[in-house]
A and B are shown apart, each in its own frame.
Chain A
Amino acid sequence: MTSKITSQFEKAAMQNRAAYVPFIMGGFPNDDTFIRLLKALDDCSADVIEVGVPFSDPLADGPTIQKAGKIALDNGSSLRKILGTLGEVSVDIHAPIVLMTYWNPILRMGVDEFGDKAKAANISGVIIPDLPPEEAGYWIKVARAHEIDTIFMVAPTTTPKRLETIVNLSKGFVYLVSMTGVTGSALVVSDALLKTVANLKRLTSVPVAVGFGVSNPEQVAALSNVADGVIVGSALIKKCLEADDDVSAIDAVSSLSRGIIGALGRN
């Protein structure tokens, strides 16, 4: 059975474009606006939407997502709460939802309970940045049983041997980390990066989406020629942090999203 996520990438490919995968944070900037952002992104026809779970020690994240996470935690956001919210609103969202969370909140909840709750909340896939394949055995079993896609990350440092393992375990898409760095770092879409994407695509039939530092339509235009999808996180979060109020935050996120969507086409 092809996953909901893979189907979205296939649909985009048929339209001769890359898929748009925006990232927002559960409970940020507040519970209500989070839900409205989710709907706004869905209305812009985002292909897949990533929802981040805030964590006290986000060691793969740069200052922007750290800040959003802190605001969300101060608002009382948690894995349990986000799953509850998504369970309620996901019927109205067309795009499949991918949860991005560090491992400890899942561990604390219990991996089995998390599988059940994520399934009940209509989560299509999960990204766990601090869970490499070596530690993911049990999670993969639970995820497969619940038909949740396991999305693993490939980094510029990944060795060929690791690449093979990661690609084989990835479902939905493979997350190619654009650079050695944390989320939101300045990205230069170099020929080397484009080549890495192309090489990775040759290794797998699973779609390849590129993330970390992707922030504007120019980068997206360059990446879209080779990548199956682009992931945009910190740039959207930054718009929210800079906005004067919730309404302008949603406007700013929608407007940047439209700009990015306009740059997804392949030439």
Chain B
Amino acid sequence: MTKSGTLYKEQKQQVSAPDQNGYFGRFGGRFVPETLMPALEKLSETYNRVKNDPPFATELKDLLKDYAGRETPLYYARRLSEKLGGARIFLKREDLTHTGAHKINNALGQVLLAARMGKTRIIAETGAGQHGVATATAAALMGLECVVYMGSLDIVRQALNVTRMKMLGAQVVPVNDGSCSLKDAVNAAIRDWVTNVANTHYIIGSVIGPHPYPMIVRDFQCVIGKEARKQMLEQAKKLPDVAIACVGAGSNAIGLFHAFLGDPVRLIGVEAAGYGLDTGRHAASLCAGSPGVLHGALLYLLQDENGQITEAHSIAAGLDYPGVGPEHGMLKDIERVTYVAVTDQEAVQGFMELAGIEGIIPALESAHAIAYLKKFAGTMSKDDTILVCLSGRGDKDVAQVAEYLDSKSVSGSDENDSKSANYSSTSAENQK
């Protein structure tokens, strides 16, 4: 992997999808019970009406600025760049938003939509708890009732965010089905919505679900890439050669990528390889899955030969989901974005490295993007630039990572072997 120019595949594909049926290429659509179809039609209609409506746009813009703290900084990570020994690495600091992750961009947008539709009750699913916290925050701000569904496994591993949601006035409902994580929380939220659709708006937390959700969430997250593109031109005086983001269900990645789809910028999405792609215990739907229908859309997912959805695994609760949004399926098919995966262990090493070398504790989700840098940044030249979406902060993860390190005792070794899975200098031992 040398000059990104040689790797960039010219694609003049129409990327302003979806079509009016909600399809991105062959992915997307609306696969939901009839009860919800009218609500989706109404949501599409409302969104199309208000999205270019100046009062709506202004209200959202002001909230993003004064309440959520946008624009977020673009930070040149000098020490990390030097350590990896190649391209200059820039971090888009979504971790510095109010509530600490990109999820707030979507939550604020959707809560305004809900208010426009006259809904009085908000529901959401959450994995890492970041979307739950963002939604609880936005609901508190608007004075709306809020119920968040969360897998019981995630309630344990993201305890800090559970407390936050409760303090924000949300009711957190534990979900004990299936894998007790994000997928099951979405099922529970959809069942609530089917029951209470008259007064309730469901704020989906990523670019999944039936049309128009993948489009709406994408549009609200596009602010990440729009700002970053402008900031790169200002600070680095050029577009990045590579833009990279972690991919759970795909919202921070699509939000970063969209501004660069028409540019000669290499785009990389990093999925969760969990214990390793060959173990079958991972959450890498694009790298190792196949197309199917889950939660109302046709997308890449993990399934068995009978079409049953299989359980995902990732150390990062926000990536622990067996599907990826339909637009990513299209971007994979047209080879505009390259999708790769890193393991739990690599992610924890990325987490520790960023903390130790830059003084930034990233979310475990974001740490997947950081971890992948090690695999290629060193092969690039100093004139090259890499833009990373640092999607969230890692306060929620510190207890889990400490526990992981205690059990694994990840050691920093083999500093010179860039292919090694092990990071160095900031070993677990140093941190304890």
Give chain A's interface residues, CB within 8 Å of chain B: 55-60, 62, 66, 73, 78-80, 102-109, 129-132, 134-135, 152-159, 162, 166, 177, 180-182, 185
Contacts and interface: CB of A to CB of B under 8 A. Distances in A.
Nearest to A101: B307
A184 to B, nearest CB: 11
Interface of B is mostly: mixed
Interface in B190-248: 190-191, 194-198
B34 A182 contact: no
A108 B307 contact: yes
A243 B162 CA distance: 38
B35 interface: yes
Interface string B29-48: 11111111111010000000
Interface of B: 21, 29-39, 41, 177-178, 183, 187, 190-191, 194-198, 292-296, 298, 303, 305-310
Nearest to A76: B306
Given A108-B292, A108-B306, A182-B195, A152 B38 contact: no
Contacts of A78: 306, 308
A55 B30 contact: no
B308 A130 contact: no
A261 to B, nearest CB: 28
A107 B307 contact: yes
A106 B32 contact: no
A167 B184 CA distance: 33
Given A73-B308, A108-B303, A180-B194, A158 B178 contact: no
Given A108-B292, A180-B195, A130 B309 contact: no
B308 A185 contact: no
Contacts of B295: 57, 59
6 contacts: A57-B187, A103-B293, A132-B31, A153-B33, A155-B33, A162-B37
B306 A79 contact: yes
B195 A153 contact: no
Nearest to B183: A57
A185 B191 CA distance: 11
B35 A157 contact: yes
A152 B307 CA distance: 22
Contacts of B198: 157, 180
Name the residue in B177, B191, B309 with the highest tally of chain A Cβ atoms < 10 Å from its Cβ: B191
Q: Which 5 A-B residue pairings sit nearest by Cβ, starting from the closest?
A: A108-B307, A105-B307, A155-B35, A78-B306, A56-B308
Contacts of A106: 307
Contacts of A79: 306-307
A152 B36 CA distance: 14
Given A130-B31, A130-B32, A134-B30, A60 B307 contact: no
A182 B37 contact: no
Nearest to B189: A59
Nearest to A129: B33
Nearest to B192: A182
Contacts of B191: 59-60, 62, 182
Name the residue in B31, B187, B296 with the highest tally of chain A Cβ atoms < 10 Å from its Cβ: B31
Nearest to A177: B35
Interface of A is mostly: loop
A60 B194 contact: yes
Nearest to A103: B293
Contacts of A157: 34-39, 197-198
A104 B303 contact: yes
Name the residue in B21, B35, B39 with the highest tally of chain A Cβ atoms < 10 Å from its Cβ: B35
Contacts of A60: 33, 191, 194
A158 B38 contact: yes
Given A59-B32, A66-B177, A181-B195, 18 more contacts: A56-B178, A57-B187, A59-B190, A59-B194, A62-B191, A78-B306, A102-B293, A106-B307, A107-B307, A108-B307, A129-B33, A130-B32, A152-B34, A155-B34, A155-B38, A162-B34, A180-B35, A180-B194
Given A59-B295, A155-B33, A134 B38 contact: no
A23 to B, nearest CB: 16
Given A152-B34, A156-B35, A182-B195, A130 B296 contact: yes
Contacts of A103: 31, 293
Nearest to B22: A134
Contact of B294 (A57, A134, A181): A57
Given A57-B187, A80-B306, A104-B307, A159 B194 contact: no
B199 to A, nearest CB: 11
Contacts of B303: 104, 108
A60 B190 CA distance: 8
Nearest to A153: B34
Given A157-B197, A182-B194, A109 B307 contact: yes
B295 to A, nearest CB: 7
Contacts of A155: 33-35, 37-38
B46 to A, nearest CB: 15
Contact of A132 (B30, B187, B196, B293): B30
Contacts of B31: 103, 130-132, 135
Nearest to A81: B306
B140 to A, nearest CB: 27
A57 B321 CA distance: 13
Contact of B195 (A58, A166, A185): A185
Contact of B34 (A56, A66, A104, A166): A166
